[in-house]
Amino acid sequence: MTVPTNPFDSRTILDGIRQWVEIETPTEAPDQINQLVSLVSEGYRGLDAVVERVSGRDGCGDHLIARSGWGQQEPGILILSHLDTVHPIGFLRRLPFSIDGDVAFGPGIYDMKGGAYLAYHAFRHLCLTGKRSPLGITHLFVSDEEIGSPTSRVLIEEEGRKAKYVLVTEPARDGGRIVTGRKGVARFDVTIRGVPAHAGARPQDGRSAIRELANVIHALEALNDLERGITVNVGVVRGGTRPNVIAEEAYAEVDARLPTPADAEEIVPKILGLTSRSEGVSVEVTGGVNRPPYVKGNAGAALFEHARSLAEEIGFELVDTITGGGSDGNFTAPFTATLDGLGVDGKGAHTHYEQMYISSIEPRTRLLHRLYQTLR
Ligand SMILES: [Zn+2]
């Protein structure tokens, strides 16, 4: 293999991203994911890297781990990416890969095939030049991030604990911002059981689960505290059978975002402890924290400062932000310095107008490459 003249040429990199985008990979289509995993793993052929494929389970696709042939005995750099997207099969027809000026469209192009590809490209370039980085590099591609990483979490935590630094290729946001903090994510299911009755003939015999659900919704909504960044959202409700039947059952699905561990300790028990205010009606809440809050620790702050100075050398300003969106970075940040949002800039994650900015390809690939070269 030869080393290209501009190894960070954005059109060449975009061609590679396009190939990844054109294999549709919804989390629940393991065969599709595995097809992409095969393509990704072929890319390491002939390089000083060892590829390990972890078989998928529970309906999810395979995970892929690519390790540099050097530096694996000591804590090194872990790159975290996901290959799954939220878009169903066939979405590519609605949002085909296309280019309009500086914008490239496609399902998952921004979240996060673009970013995963940049880190992959930078690592392959490092191998091609034969200049080993001071630390070993491990790139983990998981197949189930979009549903909360149920089959990859253990792997992420295991690799995260071994690493000295974790770089996450989730998309940049709000004009190229990098992420040094993420709110914790908690999920809950509420099940309410009442007593059914004929709504017209025997209303006095009924105990409405839906009426109690209204109380529960009010109690949950009251936990919102935008000033502290605490959000509680009742996103799904179901219940009842017919208009003339007092509802026997009702359900709600709840999402909570909690900026700090202390917030989680305060809010989670309040949600789990919700009780019924209606006689004869029961309220049962299950769930809890799915991704712990990721707060910028000392090591994370130093890692960000280092990345900021590298970006300055490359010619762009790196600004950090805290986001309410969870990622696999939440799993590693409690114990290893983690920098997230290193992927491409763009907008419209999870939508029919998902897009990335082509101009963000070269500087961000260079940044990843420089991080590999300089972290020690
Ligand atoms: Zn993502």
Q: Looking at 48-102, list the stretches that DSSP marks H as alpha helix, in order from N- to C-terminal side.
A: 91-94
The whole-number pLDDT of residue 70 equals 97
What is the average per-residue pLDDT within 157-185? 92
Q: Is the pLDDT of residue 224 over 60?
A: yes
Calculate how far, in angstroms, residue 181's C-alpha sits from the geometric centre of ligand 1.
15
Q: What is the pLDDT of residue 296?
A: 79
Reported as a single tens digit per residue, the pLDDT across 89-125 is: 999 999 999 999 999 999 999 999 999 999 999 999 9
Instruction: Give residues whose Cβ lies within 5 Å of ion ligand 1.
Output: 111-112, 170
Taking the centre of ligand 1 as the mean of its atom positions, its distance from the CA of residue 214, in whole angstroms, is 33
User: What is the three-class DSSP state of 105?
Assistant: strand
d(CA 70, CA 68): 5
pLDDT band of 2, cuts 50, 70, 90: low
Give the chain's radius of gyration (CA, Å). Answer: 23
Q: Which pair of structure tokens corresponds to residue 137?
A: 């590099």
Coil/strand/helix, residue 63: strand
Distance 146 CA to ligand 1 centre (A): 7
Percent of the chain with pLDDT over 90: 89
Distances (CA, A) of 320 to 122, 222, 259, 317, 342: 22, 30, 16, 10, 11
Q: What is the mean pLDDT of residues 278-301?
A: 91
Predicted confidence at residue 295, as pLDDT, reads 84
CA 95 to CA 91: how far, in whole Å?
6
Q: pLDDT confidence of 205, banded at 50, 70, 90?
A: very high
**What residue spans define the domains of the chain?**
10-183+294-374, 186-291
Instruction: Identify residue 31 by its one-letter amino acid code.
Output: D
More confident residue, 4 or 23: 23
Instruction: Provide the CATH topology of domain 186-291.
Output: Alpha-Beta Plaits (3.30.70)
Instruction: For residue 243, give the 3-state DSSP assignment.
Output: coil
Q: What is the pLDDT of residues 21-31, one digit of tens each?
A: 999 999 999 99
**For residue 3, what pLDDT is reported?**
58
Find the 201 Cα to ligand 1 centroid distance in Å.
53
Residue listed under structure tokens 């999402």 = 255
For residue 202, what pLDDT is reported? 96
Fold type of domain 10-183+294-374: Aminopeptidase (3.40.630)
Q: In the structure encoding, which two tokens stand for residue 129, read together?
A: 């030049």
Distance CA 84, CA 146 (A): 7
Q: Chain-wide mean pLDDT for the chain?
A: 95
What spacing in Å lies between the alpha carbon of 64 and ligand 1's midpoint?
A: 16
CA–CA dist 102, 80 (Å, integer): 26
Phi, psi of 257 (to 5 degrees): -120, 125
Determine the Cα–Cα distance for residues 113 and 272; give it in Å rounded to an integer.
Answer: 36
Give the Å distance between the CA of 349 and the centre of ligand 1. 8
**By C-alpha distance, which of 204, 216, 221 is closest to 280?**
204
- The pLDDT assigned to 174 comes to 77
C-alpha of residue 168 to centroid of ligand 1, in Å: 10
Rounded mean pLDDT, 230-255? 97
User: Residue range 40-58: average pLDDT?
Assistant: 97
Find where tokens 């804590």 sit: 75
Residue 294 CA to ligand 1 center (angstroms) comes to: 16
Instruction: Tell me what pLDDT residue 325 has.
Output: 81
User: What is the Å distance from ligand 1's center to 86 Cα?
Assistant: 9
> What is the whole-number distance in angstroms between the Cα of residue 368 and the centre of ligand 1?
18
Confidence of residue 1 (pLDDT cuts 50, 70, 90): low
pLDDT of residue 369: 98
